[in-house]
Amino acid sequence: MNVEYSVQLLLTDILQFHSDLEGSEIPVGEGVRDIALLEAAVNAPFQTFGGEDLFPELHEKAARLCYGIANNHAFIDGNKRTAVHAMEMFLLLNEKTLECTDDELENIILGVAEGSISYEKMACWIKEHI
């Protein structure tokens, strides 16, 4: 199998991203509400079944990571911002960047959070924008 990615984010990376946002211009609230939900979201993109990657493409992994963090609500506050930052860092570490406006990205993550954008739709959007 030709593996398209080389870098996987860890739980500690996501916790650091969230911590960094706490000191940003628009800070997030402190704290993790449920570490198990965060761990599930961080590990989901790299799940396998029968030795096969469930999310073999980079855009699928990025979407699963962002979608999971945004929807699992593991943090007390800042789930959407942390999800977007994690996705962007995952792509950057794997030598890809999103080519979109801030407004487009905001619309996507708001749609994910409110349930109008599915994981599949988000994965397609990412594929079109990297």
- Which CATH number is correct for 11-129, 3.40.1310.30, 1.20.58.100, 1.10.287.610, 1.20.120.1870? 1.20.120.1870
Task: Look at residue 1 in the predicted model and tell me its pLDDT.
Answer: 43
Per-residue pLDDT band at 19 (split at 50, 70, 90):
confident
Q: Which is more confident, 31 or 86?
A: 86
- Packing angle between helix 102-114 and helix 58-72, nearest 10 degrees? 60
Each residue of 85-116: pLDDT tens digit?
999 999 999 999 999 999 999 999 999 999 99
- Residues in the chain, how many? 130
Model pTM score? 0.89
Across the chain, mean pLDDT equals 91
